[in-house]
Amino acid sequence: AASKLEISMPAVVEVEIGGTARIECNFYIPENASYTYIDWFYVDRSNRQVRLYHITASGVLEDDTDYKKRLSLGEDKALSISAVTAQDARTFVCQVGAGSYGVGENSTELSVYRELPASSNLCSRLSLPPQIARCVSKNSFPPPNITWHKNGEQLHAQENKVTIQSTLTRESSGLYTVSSTLYAPVTREDRHSRYHCTLHYWLRGQGLALESREVKVNVFYPAEHLKLKVVSSSAMVKEGDNVTLVCEADGNPRPVFSFFKKNLNEWQDVSSLAEPDSGVLNLHDVNKSSNGTYKCQSLDLDDMSQIEEAVDLVVNYIEGVHVKMEPSSALREGDSVTLSCDAHSPVGLKYQWRDEKGRKLGEGSQLVLNNLTFETSNTFSCKVMAPSVPGLEQSKKVSVPVEGKPRIVAISSPLYVRQDEVVNLTCKAIAFPRPTVQWNINGTAHEYMDNQHIASNLTVRVSHDLLQAGAMCRVSNKLGVSEKHIQLVDQKSTAESQGVIIVAIIVAILVVAVLGAVIYFLHKKGKIPCGRAGKQDITKPEARKDKIVVEVKSDKLSEEAGLLQGANGEKRPAADQVGQSDGHRP
């Protein structure tokens, strides 16, 4: 039998996060003496012991700590901790006082793990290198053997390279819990490596193996390469585009990015325009001033190393669009003018001319307009385009006013009216500068613009004097005056005149008809002989019978004349034929 106070505790107790850890404290006191007290402690980060329980024969005192609601004591004075968290992975101490036999203590390391949701529930990731992963097998018998594999190849312990730590715990049930922890240095190339563990065990005399799922190590390494690229919706950046500068580095974790723009010989920090911690600089609605060299700089917070990369941003633009008019003096109707368009751009330009209605007039930097009139479009547009940069264009408008004295283009004359009737008199003219319209009579005038024309409507009541004199429209500006008379016609007088004309026409027609009938009657009676061309001169005195000449024009008379020819084929004189046909006349 031992002659002194002895305390035995497991070196390590492993528990899954969320589970309950039970730490036993077994002690031996010589001569079966009783303990004076039992104290439970945990060791904090400062390596200071913080008491949890003070146990005596008279009772149990629980100290006020963060564990207070999660602690309990077993009948054997074992310490139980429920709802274990990762922060509970620390050392717990059991101290026993035995009066004259002195004071003794021992400790247990509480190890916390989380099983992966895989079929084997073997391998779990730990975040801090060089500890790669831990593999746990629970409730097995006999205890299995655990091996480690990297990218499918088995790892073996090597000094200063690969370390494998294993623990074996026999549970109260007689089964075994085996854990194995892999430690290994990692490099940048290991960011794609995959690790897993394999359990080798015997079952019914057969050697079997069970593999865990693969885990990936989060390897931290500084950036070695930096890339800065320009991202735009169009191949060639033009003014008005949105441009994104993207900075990418191959470090892990992502380094801190800063952006700079070169102004003369100095770098201006433009990181305030970038999205936080993204490495993306957005430039909205870029213009000529956005041109220049941009630099991205990465900073690794572990070793404070820096890498930088620069890129040139070229923004294509058109500026200084100007239209010149020759001559620049005032233009009159009939004049000619030459419009010249000019602009500046780092790329080649093309010019196009259009009128105010959008109709294309021509191409080239000059447009010649001949024989100008008031009706000529007075607003022209020069459209400047860059064929090599799709969508890059600007326009400039120019006004070409044609001056001149007014020209009246329409009046309501003649206007048929009735006396005392209210009518509208209309006068429309065109001129520049804008003219004024005046009437020589009183009325209510209303002016309005109709395209380029100025129109005036005068509402008046028709009086006797107005019917007689009419109205005068007078249009004037500083360059001259135009006047036109509006004639008013009485509809009543017009109707009466039209009636008289109709009656005269009817009477004339009747007279001609009667005269024609009399002539025809006299002709049938033989009172009026036929003259040349079927006409009779009734003013001449009666001629002798042998002097009458008849010219036959109708086909019927020609046929009758043919029937009167003699048997020997000789034709008789026309006078004889008529005489035989009609017989002797007294």
CA 241 vs CA 15, 18, 396: distances in Å: 60, 56, 21
Q: How far apart are CA 91 and CA 47, in angstroms?
A: 10
Is pLDDT above 50 for 380? yes
185-226 per-position pLDDT tens digit:
888 888 889 999 999 987 766 788 999 999 888 888 888 889
C-alpha angle with apex 284: 283 to 285, nearest 5 degrees? 125
Contact 114, 179 (CB under 8 A): no
Same domain, 109 and 10: yes
Kindly indicate the confidence band of residue 117, based on its pLDDT and cuts at 50, 70 and 90.
very low
9, 107 in Cβ contact below 8 A? yes
Rama region for 271: left / alpha / beta (φ>0; ψ in -120 to 50; rest): alpha
Q: Are residues 385 and 363 in the same domain?
A: yes
Q: Could you tell me the pLDDT band of residue 142, with boundaries at 50, 70 and 90?
A: confident
d(CA 550, CA 417): 60
What letter does residue 556 receive in the DSSP assignment? Answer: H
- In the listed set 73, 92, 113, which residue is the last one of a domain according to the structure? 113
Same domain? 176 vs 145: yes
Please indicate, yes or no, whether residues 45 and 88 belong to a single structural domain of this protein.
Answer: yes
Q: Residue 548 is which amino acid?
A: I
pLDDT in tens, 149-198: 999 999 988 877 888 889 998 887 767 889 999 988 888 888 889 999 99
Task: Tell me how far apart the alpha carbons of residues 427 and 435 are, in angstroms, rounded to a whole number.
Answer: 12
Tell me the residue range of the domain where 170 lies: 123-216
Write out the DSSP string of 491-521. Answer: HHHHHHHHHHHHHHHHHHHHHHHHHHHHHHH
My answer on whether 299 and 253 are in the same domain is: yes
Same domain, 14 and 87: yes
Sheet holding 366-369, edge to edge: 319-326, 337-344, 366-369
In a domain, 515, yes or no: no
**Which is it for strands 194-203 and 215-216: parallel, antiparallel or unpaired?**
antiparallel
Q: Which two tokens stand for residue 2?
A: 């031992």
Could you give the CA distance from residue 179 to residue 571 in angstroms, rounded to a whole number? 158
Per DSSP, 316 falls in state B
Tell me 333's DSSP state: T
On whether residue 183 sits in a domain, the answer given is yes
Residue 105 sits in the same domain as residue 12:
yes
190: part of which helix (H) or strand (E)? none
Rounded Cα–Cα distance for residues 163 and 156 (Å): 8
Is residue 169 within 8 Å of 10, Cβ to Cβ? yes
**DSSP per-residue string spanning 455-471:** EEEEEEE--HHHHHH-E
Q: How many CB atoms lie within 10 A of CB 261?
A: 20
CA distances from 505 to 502, 508, 509 (A): 5, 5, 6
Asked if pLDDT for residue 34 goes beyond 90, the answer is no
3-state secondary structure of 184: coil
In this structure, what are the phi and psi dihedrals at residue 333, rounded to the nearest 5 degrees?
-60, 135
Same domain membership, residue 421 and residue 364: no
Please enumerate in sequence order all residues whose Cβ is within 8 A of that of 444, keeping only pairs 6 or more positions apart, or say none: 458, 459, 460
Same domain, 309 and 351: no
pLDDT digits (tens, 9 = 90+) for 469-511: 899 999 999 889 999 999 999 887 555 556 667 777 888 888 8
Q: Do 41 and 81 fall within a single domain?
A: yes
Give 279-314 pLDDT, tens digit per residue.
899 999 999 999 999 999 988 777 777 888 999 999
The strand pair at 415-417 and 488-490 is best described as parallel
Structure tokens at 453: 């024309």
Q: Is residue 1 part of a domain?
A: no
pTM of the predicted model as reported, rounded to 2 decimal places:
0.48
Q: Which residues contact 228 (CB under 8 A, 6 or more apart)?
A: 245, 246, 247, 248, 294, 295, 296, 309, 310, 311
Nearest to 466 by CA among 514, 413, 506, 428: 413
Over residues 383-440, the pLDDT tens digits come to 999 999 999 999 999 988 888 889 999 998 899 999 899 999 999 999 888 899 999 9
DSSP code for 540: S
* Whether residues 251 and 181 fall in one domain: no
Q: Comparing C-alpha atoms, which of 89, 86, 122 is closest to residue 108? A: 89
Pick from 574, 584, 516: which is nearest to 549 by CA?
574
Dihedrals phi, psi of 100, to nearest 5 degrees = -70, -15
Q: Which band of pLDDT confidence, cut at 50, 70 and 90, is reported for residue 57?
A: confident
> What are the phi and psi torsion angles at 229 (to 5°)?
-130, 155
Contacts of 189 (CB under 8 A, 6+ apart): none
Residue 279 lies in a domain: yes
The answer to whether position 495 is within a domain reads no
pLDDT in tens, 513-567: 888 888 888 877 766 555 544 444 444 444 333 333 333 333 433 433 333 333 3
- The CATH number for 385's domain is 2.60.40.10
Q: What percent of the chain has pLDDT over 90?
A: 41
Select from 182, 216, 250 the last residue of a domain. Answer: 216
* Residue 160 included in any domain: yes
Give CA–CA dist 510/508, Å, rounded: 5
Domain boundary among 313, 331, 357: 313
366 contacts 324 by C-beta, under 8 angstroms? no
Q: Is residue 268 a contact partner of residue 219, using CB atoms and an 8 Å limit?
A: no
**Could you tell me how many residues make up the chain?**
586
Question: Is the residue at 561 inside a domain?
Answer: no
For residue 133, the SS3 value is: strand
- DSSP of 325-393: EES-S-EETT--EEEEEEEE-SS--EEEEEETT--EEEESSEEEE-S--TTS-SEEEEEEE-TTSTT-E
Instruction: Record the tokens describing residue 19, joined without a space.
Output: 């589970």
pLDDT at residue 569 greater than cutoff 80: no
Residues 84 and 144 in one domain: no
Q: Would 558 be classed as within a structural domain?
A: no
Query: Does residue 457 have a pLDDT over 90?
Result: yes
**Domains: count for the chain:** 5
CA neighbor of 243 nearest in space, from 174, 300, 177, 315: 315
